[in-house]
């Protein structure tokens, strides 16, 4: 997982201002370490900054995603965000639906997708597998 200093450096190197709100947002993701919804981030941030709009929070989440600081995941109950893995190499994830523990998979199945249409160039993809980790299987 990235540190606060690494994230601040990434943002400043790409020319983004480090505002108190952005710093608080980064601290939330780094210190929390788990998946957060945009609404949850807004609730946390609006307690610290009166007058903060949901739109502002969402724009900053989108910026952090574009810069590569946070990752976006689609769960059955909606979109969630998490601080990016420290490993920058191409990888995918196994995600426990109970405790949200995440395991990196350093194997890419896209190379084995049969019969891609001619003249189609893949430029990006995500692959997550959702299930239950060993500890949570005992509880289910």
Binding-site entries for Zn(2+): 96, 99, 133, 136
Long-range contacts of 61-66 (CB under 8 A, 24+ apart): 61/25, 63/16, 64/25, 64/26, 64/29
- State the DSSP code for 76: T
Give 122's Cβ-side CA count (13 Å radius). Answer: 8
Known binding-site residue numbers for Fe cation:
90, 125
């Amino acid at each position: 997982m990235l540190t606060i200093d690494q994230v601040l450096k990434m943002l400043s190197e790409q020319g983004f201002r480090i505002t108190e709100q952005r710093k608080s947002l980064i601290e939330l993701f780094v210190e929390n370490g788990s998946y957060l919804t945009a609404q949850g981030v807004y609730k946390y941030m609006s307690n610290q900054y009166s007058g903060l709009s949901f739109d502002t929070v969402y724009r900053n989440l989108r910026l952090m995603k574009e810069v590569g600081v946070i990752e976006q995941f689609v769960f059955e109950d909606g979109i969630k965000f998490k601080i990016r893995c420290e490993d920058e190499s191409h990888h995918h994830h196994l995600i426990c639906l109970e405790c949200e523990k995440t395991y990196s998979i350093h194997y890419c199945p896209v190379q084995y997708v049969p019969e891609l249409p001619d003249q189609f160039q893949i430029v990006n993809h995500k692959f997550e597998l959702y299930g239950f980790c060993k500890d949570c299987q005992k509880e289910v």
